[in-house]
């Protein structure tokens, strides 16, 4: 689905219930508190949906105080810190 050229993208990750989880990446200048993820089930199934323009985006999840790649993502790239970022392509 698209809205004015943007695509609806949902990010999901499994984590401990009742922990603060957010997603950050090149789509929001790596600001972790900007896209807080919610656990609607109370079982640690976190998600957030956002509208993104077409393109490639690097991202990570911030679970508590730990940055982590998306375990369900099939593409990763090396970042400037020597670790990996997940990569999503929005078409």
pLDDT value of position 55: 97
Determine how many CB atoms are found less than 10 A away from the CB of residue 59. 21
pLDDT value of position 5: 81
User: What is the 3 state secondary structure string of the chain?
Assistant: CEECCEEEEEEEEECCCCCCEEEEEHHHCCCHHHCECEECCCCCEEEEEEEECCEEEEEEEEECCEEECCCCCCCEEECCCCCEEEEEEEC
Those residues of the chain that have pLDDT short of 50 are none
Residues 21 and 11: their CA atoms lie apart, in Å, by: 11
Taking the model in full, what pTM does it have? 0.91
Model confidence pLDDT, tens digit, residues 2-25 = 567 899 999 999 999 999 999 999
pLDDT value of position 1: 56
The domains found in the chain, sorted by start residue, are 2-90 (2.60.40.10)
Residues paired with 76 in a beta bridge? 86
pLDDT value of position 2: 55
pLDDT value of position 45: 98
Q: Which two tokens stand for residue 81?
A: 């810190």
pLDDT value of position 50: 96
């Amino acid at each position: 689905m698209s809205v004015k050229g943007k695509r609806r993208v949902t990010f999901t990750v499994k984590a401990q219930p009742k922990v603060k989880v957010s997603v950050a990446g090149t789509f929001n200048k790596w600001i972790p508190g900007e896209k807080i993820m919610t656990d609607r089930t109370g079982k640690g199934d976190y998600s957030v949906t956002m509208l993104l323009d077409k393109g490639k985006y690097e991202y990570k999840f911030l679970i508590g105080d730990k940055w982590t790649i998306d375990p369900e993502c099939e593409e990763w790239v090396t970042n400037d810190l020597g670790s990996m970022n997940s990569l999503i392509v929005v078409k």
